[in-house]
Structure 1
């Protein structure tokens, strides 16, 4: 995985960011940062799906990602299944615009709905904690607009949008390394994550277990330091909140690198 997947993330901002988010998902509990989502949005054939598969490979293979279409009717058990890890939801366009905003809010709010049992007692509320990533050709706002709805500020904060196009004329990629074009690099990565997956997440967990006593303080310091660099002190509270999410992602990548998992350079 290190040589055939992570190595090709170097120099590719979108791959670095979403793989770092995968590692960061293991830090939510000790960091006390609330769950949040990241949505990669862009036109077809930009490499969005490849980026999702690469991020998912930290934990699993081609069957790790879930689809919005299959998940929206069973969101609570799905969210709980991936608690304290990365939830990957493929293709936002598949989900009903009437419910997508509520799903985003529920995922980030870390708990399901209260329901009564047949004997009219209260069933235990399902809870979870995770980073969820998704992709699509449409934004949350546009998807909700299809159903005549508008997103609330809290929903947009809870799922930040990342442009798939890196602006280099290569779709999601900034650099192709030795490949002839973006399609060739995508094919390589998709093939490699089918063979090499899960080991990076396990290795990072083992490193975290060895560091568990000092982890909360170390995380808080690293997140605050990164956040201070990213976010002006006079920024709006909503901006500060998103900045904290992004800071956790950055720290996730840095710690995985310090643990010897990624093979990336520091910084």
Structure 2
């Protein structure tokens, strides 16, 4: 009989629960890693315990001592084969998870936030969502002083910070995934706004590019479940304007739906799923990208990722005021440097304090604060579903920011949150102002109004000759229209294309696209932008 060794370096702790999607049982052991000089958890497939050699190899690889006796190894084999009534759960992605009746949060680094009994949850062995991209540097107080406090000089930065906390709060609401896209032609700090938001949960490495495949985007979204997803440089999505517009629209819908496509079993057992808040930035709005691709931005997409303009006429770009002794460039550089020195402390601290409040209390408080924002902007009784959902995006950011203030994470007054988020909300819903003479280049307007334009029905012209003309006169629905080549139109347009729709100047096709096919005898010309001639003249004059 082998004498029991109470100092055995391997202890069986629990067996995995076989939840939906799990096809393999695992054991959870606690081992003494002699190399790290600490006790660690180790997952073992239940079938591994049938073979002593497999057990020994895996334990040695995990850091168990090579100096154990034969009797000790026999005890280890017996320990791992004994029955157990203890169980642990797997998580297929980061985010909130129930552990023995207690709500906890598991990070992308597989760290568990919250107080629980028994064994912690573990990433599912086949999960790709635990990317380990979150990190921290400095203390919370240093982040508050050097990042959060200076960010008050920028309403957009405050919105970004609030959105980061909203990523942790969206789970406690009925709001679907979505967020904000900051856009503007200037280099006035849009990427710095994203960097400030990222500092809540990590460093600049968590800011990803729009240039990605659909499958990779699904994986990235799942890895940011119950968190903040950040994408920069929308223009990198695709070289082709048409393809970029289509991809942007597809990604916005996919992110808002919260579920990816079902793929082959060999690739993915179940579709990826997520609930998140997103921040994005680019030189052009998503609406403008849709126009570039000859598409109309659908209402459902608009409420998923809301365009927030950065005022290019503002002297300081995204900055509304400046600290004494700094110019705009110096301030932006200062924020960038501080975000690279102090990051990743606010998010985990916020989640830990939030969980101690209890789920019911969190839900009730968020609902109260969301309604307060809606009432403030007279949107609580709004019957326009699109406008109300846009307002809800900002209301969630406001409510989450207030909770961060209440929990002593954001060093702001509550009025600072309302002021900044409200300012961004008003910018987002305000129609883009443009002078009539600012719609098109002057030379192009002269060409549009020329009496010598060729009518597509004119006899004696071949298809190639008609195709070569920049502007043709056509008839659509008994109205005279001016059919303009796509490249000519885009070159001449100075304003946002959606303004032409608002003033009922642009003919769309049956699918709502901005361009139409031009029928001629025996076929069609390539797609063109078609402007209602009379409506255009009345608007310009």
Equivalent of residue 37 in structure 1, options 179, 202, 208: 179
Q: Is 1:177 equivalent to 2:328 in the alignment?
A: no
Map Cα deviations across residues 58-110 of structure 1 (whole Å, 9 max, x no partner): 01101110000146551100000111110000011111222110100100111
Q: Is 1:108 equivalent to 2:250 in the alignment?
A: no
Residue in 1 aligned with 2:211? 69
Residue in 2 aligned with 1:259? 407
For 1:217, what is the secondary structure of its paired residue?
Answer: helix
- Structure 1 segments of 4+ aligned residues over 3 angstroms from their partners: 70-73
Contact 2:249 2:297 in 1 (8 A): yes
Instruction: Return the alpha-carbon distance in structure 1 between the equivalents of residues 187 and 367 of structure 2.
Output: 38
Equivalent of residue 157 in structure 2, options 12, 15, 23: 15
- Note closer, same or farther for the CA distance 1:44–1:166 as it changes in structure 2 (3 Å cut): closer
Residue in 1 aligned with 2:223? 81
Contact 2:366 2:400 in 1 (8 A): no
Map Cα deviations across residues 157-211 of structure 1 (whole Å, 9 max, x no partner): 2111111228642110001112421110111111111110010111111111111
Residue in 1 aligned with 2:336? 190
Contact 1:166 1:174 in 2 (8 A): no
TM-score (norm 2): 0.47
Q: How does 1:114-153 map to 2 (within 5 A)?
A: 114-118=262-266, 123-153=269-299
- Note closer, same or farther for the CA distance 1:73–1:234 as it changes in structure 2 (3 Å cut): closer
User: Unaligned stretches of 5+ in structure 1?
Assistant: none
- Note closer, same or farther for the CA distance 1:7–1:145 as it changes in structure 2 (3 Å cut): same
Worse overlay, 95-104 or 229-238? 229-238
Equivalent of residue 303 in structure 2, options 133, 136, 157: 157
Residue in 2 aligned with 1:60? 202
For 1:112, what is the secondary structure of its paired residue?
Answer: coil
User: Unaligned stretches of 5+ in structure 2?
Assistant: 1-142, 238-243, 416-541
TM-score (norm 1): 0.93
Cα deviation, residue 37, structure 1: 2.1
Aligned residues: 265
Instruction: Return the alpha-carbon distance in structure 2 between the equivalents of residues 52 and 200 of structure 1.
Output: 16
Instruction: Return the alpha-carbon distance in structure 2 between the equivalents of residues 143 and 168 of structure 1.
Output: 23
Instruction: Return the alpha-carbon distance in structure 2 between the equivalents of residues 165 and 32 of structure 1.
Output: 32
